[in-house]
Structures are given as structure tokens and as C-alpha cells.
Structure 1
Amino acid sequence: MKTLDDFRAVYRLPLAELILKAAAAHQQFRDYRDIQRCELLSIKTGGCPEDCKYCSQSAHYDTPVDRQPLLTVEEVRERATEARDRGATRFCMGAAWRQPKDGPEFDRVLDMVRTVRGLGMEACVTLGMLTDSQAGRLKDAGLTAYNHNLDTSRRHYPEVISTRTYDDRLDTLRAVSRAGISVCSGGILGMGETEDDRLMMLCELAQLDPPPESVPINCLMPQGGTPLAMAPKVDSLEIVRLVATARVAFPTARVRLSAGRDRMSRELQVLCFLAGADSVFFGDKLLTAPNPHESADEALFRAIGVNPPRCEPATAP
């Protein structure tokens, strides 16, 4: 699947046929019983110079989010250890930067990566745009994956962000790939885009060589004070269709059911798992947005008969 027509043909299949097609790909290329638990921590919050219309951390908008400096390595160690003990096998760290600057703070992030890897977990960071040199240093520290979402289609992108270009985002993904780090990149549904915009975003990801190791599917979490604060919810079956289409297009990738789960019923989440989603973020907060309580997720996993594996400490690379 490379062209918009390819993606449309799959996305527009009768829903039962689409889910069966996605489930077949899931069963062939992955263990459909393996739903990875990840935890996402904001390691530097607020004050971002970007003007992403969905983001409560943007300095352009008056939101309830307070600025917080970069956490210490010991604070991250404590949070990552707690996440591992709750069953997370991947620990993700996000910093509200346009692009990290070389120096003590970037060095501290490298130490955070080494710390998480030393706990036996996969480590993922999202820090904004990267240079080749920075990507190489993250690789040397043992980084598993770098998250940098395309968010939406190239066509719709200027309606959402003006402080960087679509090609800026793609350049960062290519720098990550050149460094040998896995790419985690997906989109956000519910920002006024069309279904074709969502499929064009997947088309862009399909052009990457190699393709993304994981594709997060986020639903907008409207944040007070942002331009998209009053955006309506995404239709549930449109979410299921996009998850299934992503599974067919990226059969070996993790398709991550990411932001927005606290607004989804259990039944919708189960449909997404049947359609090929095989990862969730857990914990009460995703950066600054709410997330389902851990007990709700435990009950959900018990109900569907999934017992995600746990990590053991390992030696950092």
C-alpha cells in the first residue's frame, strides 16, 4: 500500500471484511495476544515555542498548564521503576522543546535514556526536531525509538501548525532512521481533517524507508485555552477503520491506541484491539492530558484475557 487509492480501497471495505483483513495480518505478523503497556512522562513541561493548535504546552495559548523545568535523572528513575513494576515494558519521555540544544540538559536526557534501558525497558523520547549528531548520540545512549508524529496530512498541516513545516518533521524522521533508531510516528484524529487527510498521513508514513516501527493513533484531547478546545469527538467507527487500515498497511509495526482512550468505551477499545491495535499507554496522565485509571485498564485486560509481559532489570548499553 503506497498510494491514496490503495489506502482508500482498504479503508472503505465493509467493516467486518476490513476487521477480518486486519486481524489476519495481525495474526500472521505479530502475536495478537501481546498488547504492550507503555507509560509516557512529561520530563519538561510547558513553554513550547511551537503553535500547535491542539497543545496545552504551547506558549502561544493561555492554558492551565504550568511550566516545569527538566526533571532530574533520579526523578525519572523513580517514575520508570514504578511504571515497570506496574507492567510497562516501554517508557516514553516527552519534553516541550522545539528542538533540544546541545549542552547539560541534552546530556541529562541521554542519562535518562541509559537509566530506563538499565531497568530493562524500551526507551522512547520525543524532544522535537533533531540533528543527525543528536540522533547519533541518542542511539549511542541506547534509545529504542524516537516519537515524532506527522499529526495529519501535508494538505491539512498548515491549518494546525505554522511554526514548522511538514518537511521539517520528515527530516527529523529521516535523521532518526539514519542513526539506526526505530521511528514511532502517527497522527491525531479530530483536528478538522477529512478521512482522506488521515489516509494521506498514512501514505506519507508508508513512503519512509524503513517504515515506522510503531504507528500511534491519537484522538484529540481538547485542551482549554487552545484553538481546538471545542473540537467535536471523532466518530467511533472511523477510529476503528483507521486502526484496521494502519494494521494492514504496517503489518509488522506496533499500532498504538494512544491519546483519547479515556473518552472511549471498553467496547470501542476492544474493537480497536480486534482491528489490530496492540499497544496502549497507561497511567493516569499522558503528558498533560487525562488517561484511564490503571484499575480500569487492569479490568479491561482481564476481560479480554490478556496478561501483558513484565520486564526484568538489564544492563544498560
Structure 2
Amino acid sequence: MHNIAAAIFGAQKPSWAMKYPQVSERLWSKCKELERKPAGEAERMETLYAAINDLKQEVFEAVRPNPLVRLAHLKSPVQNPRPTIPRKRSQLHQLLRGNATADGLYQSTDSSRAIEPAIFKLKDPWPDICVGLSDDSLADALRSTKDRYITQSLLLDMQDISTLISDPHVTPLGLRFPFLIVEAKAGATGWNLYQAQNQAAVGGSTALLILKGLSGLRDGQDLNEENYDDVEASNEPGQASPNIELNIVFSITTEGPVHESWIHFREPKEEDFCMVCIGTWRTTLKDGSPNFLRHLSAILRGGNGEFKDQIISVLKDL
């Protein structure tokens, strides 16, 4: 994980701001304009979406609101801790029930049920912006080993039978293997950064589960090949399979002009999902806008580099 992150962010160029002065200037000016009025989430999201479109390359698809696929096996498990309130005191507190919403909490009159631990459920992820590899870029990259039609049919067929969910949207949008999601909030609408972080955690874990599914296909393929290969031959120098790590995605969370960048990952042989904040910027500051865009550009370059190469390497063997 650390090697991939270093490869993505370690190749920064000090002269980056000179390469995209218009993008930085537009973002800075627009964010200042939005601060002068009670701007909502839609306006904030449009501003960031425009910046991503200015920076991204043709190999990517960047899409806006569309709920990620609602499949149980793509949801990360929720760990519900035991209640820490003593039994007698717990009867004095109203616990949050399973599907509690802003419309009201479930009120239980049964005292025996009132002391049960609260069950928190994660909603289906629905990121404001999602960035992943385009259908066309994958087909072009696999031309040397697979026919273009076969490549697209392969991913569609695996999606239809739930062998591999690569386009995580209810309505297919031609975006596969998302590696960057955005959750944008605005204080004027009553939402805050903590809610954006929680939603990013759900979306990030879903993206990681998609990569886990692809890695599982790769591991199953390797296992089948080992059953037919001689063990000694597989141990000869140069015979080892490449070390492919598909366990990192990114998210951007915002509240007004405050932009955070998060890295989502799973440690090898661990089931827990982790997310770590790796940067915070205020885009209404003159240096905040270019610094944030430099970081965002590095994520997009990583998606077009190591991330895409690893995806292609696995798909070539399927």
C-alpha cells in the first residue's frame, strides 16, 4: 500500500501550477464566488466536477449522481459494539433503532427490547462524483490479447451473472473499476464534513470490494494453473507471477471551500477497511486551489498509471 501511494504522490513537479493555471484560477474564483452567497451542494459539486473534467484524461469516465449497485455482497460488514451503558441506566436512554431516519426515531414501549444494542445500518453508496476507467480505454488496452467485442462482452457477461461487478451503477454508465469518489456538502443545506466522510467510507469500501472481486478471479485463475504446472518449474527464477496489489482507492470530501483527500485501503490478509486523511485544503485561498489540484491531478495520474496497468494485467489473463 505504501509503495503505491509513494509512486502516486512522489513524482510531483514544483512547476505543476504553471501547467494548469486556468484550471486553478477558475476553481479559486468560483469558490470565492460561492462563499459570497449561500451556495448549495449542487453548485459546489458542479464546480469540482468541472475541475476534474479539466484534469482527467480520455481513459477515464467521471459521472455524477447515480446510486451504486445495491447488492448485499458488495456492502461492507458493519461492526456493532456491545452497549457500554449499564443495564439500569440503559433503560433511561432511547436507543437508535435499525432504520431510524430524519423523519423520526422508532419508539419502543417494550423495556426488554430497549436494552438491546443499537444496530446501525449503512445506506447504499451514492457518491456525488465517481471516477473510473472507461469501457473504451479497457477495450483499447486489451486489443493485443482480446478482440474489442470480446473484451466488452466479457465484462458485461460477468456483471450479468454477478461474477464480477465492474460498473457499479444501477444504470450502466460505461465507468468501470472506480478509484476516486467525491462527497460534496454545503453548510447552507445543513450538511457537514463528518457526513461526507461517513458516506465516503461506505463508497470507498464498496470500490475496494469491487477490486477484491477482481483479485479473487485472478487468484482463482492462478490456482487452476498451478494444478497443471510442475511445482519445481513454478519455483524457477523468473517464473513468479507479478506482485499485483488492488487494494487502494481515493475519495474527496468537501464542506464549502474545505476539501479533504482520503486514501482507502485494506491491509494484506485483513478484512477491515481503513481510510486515512492525506491532505486538507481551503480552495478560497490563493495557494489552496493549486495545491489541491496538484494533489487531485496526482490521483488521476495514478489511476492512468499503476492502477490501470494492474487492472489490465488481470483482465488479460481472464
The TM-score range, normalised by the shorter chain, is: under 0.3
Higher helix share: 2
Larger Rg: 2
TM-score w.r.t. structure 1 length? Answer: 0.25
